[in-house]
Structure 1
């Protein structure tokens, strides 16, 4: 089970749950895969709704690899992601948000 306080998101691939997390290495891989120079450019794509299905897959692959998954983008294209494309996009957005949220911030 994924730990949201550690920035993790649960992604279910072919019925099997996997923890996904955007580590620094995963974020660097994501920048390279998307051809962006900065993390802010990656975030802007999602905030402004200018992301593609390829962006969603790249973000999920980076997060899954950050969580220890050994697959590649081609592997993710052949599995069923629970919830379909809409859930995949939502999980990608949650991954980005959790990567830049400080656990416990704002709590009294």
Structure 2
């Protein structure tokens, strides 16, 4: 069972239930896969809300491995989508929010207002 306090998200594909998790190792793998230098750049990349099917596949594969599933990218690509792409997209969106928060960080936060 997925534990949200640990950053885990449950995903059911076909008859199997999976746990997704973006561990520190998974985040490092995503930096490499997406060719970014740091976590801020990674958060900005995902903060646009626009992900291709290739992005979803890469995120799903890394998150499955982070959740303890020993699966290759090819095995992940072959997983059944009997219920369409929506459950995968929702699970990926949820894990990104759990990992990075609801909004992407800004490089220039607003100045404090005097009361």
Q: Same fold (TM over 0.5)?
A: yes
Cross-structure match for 2:64: 64
The aligned length equals: 101
Listed as ranges, the gaps of 5+ residues in structure 2 are: 102-115
**Residue 20 of structure 1 aligns to a residue in which SS?**
strand
Structure 1, unpaired ranges of 5+: 102-108
Cα offset, 1:43, TM superposition: 2.2
Provide closer, same or farther for how the CA distance between residues 6 and 56 of structure 1 changes in structure 2, counting only shifts above 3 A. Answer: same
TM-score (norm 2): 0.76
Go from structure 1 to structure 2 and tell me whether the alpha carbon gap of 1:99 and 1:49 turns closer, same or farther (over 3 Å shift). closer
Please tell me whether the aligned partners of residues 43 and 100 of structure 2 are also in contact (alpha carbons under 8 angstroms).
no
User: Cα deviation per residue 1:3-41 (whole Å; 9 max; x = unaligned)?
Assistant: 112110012233210111100001111111122222222
Partner of 1:52: 52
Match of 1:88 in 2: 88
Give the secondary structure class of the aligned counterpart of 1:32: helix
Which has more radius of gyration? Answer: 2
CA deviation vs aligned residue, 1:29-77 (integer Å, no higher than 9, x gap): 1111122222222222332133211111111111111110000111111
Dislocated runs of 4+, deviation >6 Å: none
Q: Tell me how far 1:96 sits from its aligned partner.
A: 1.4
Question: RMSD of the alignment, in Å?
Answer: 1.8
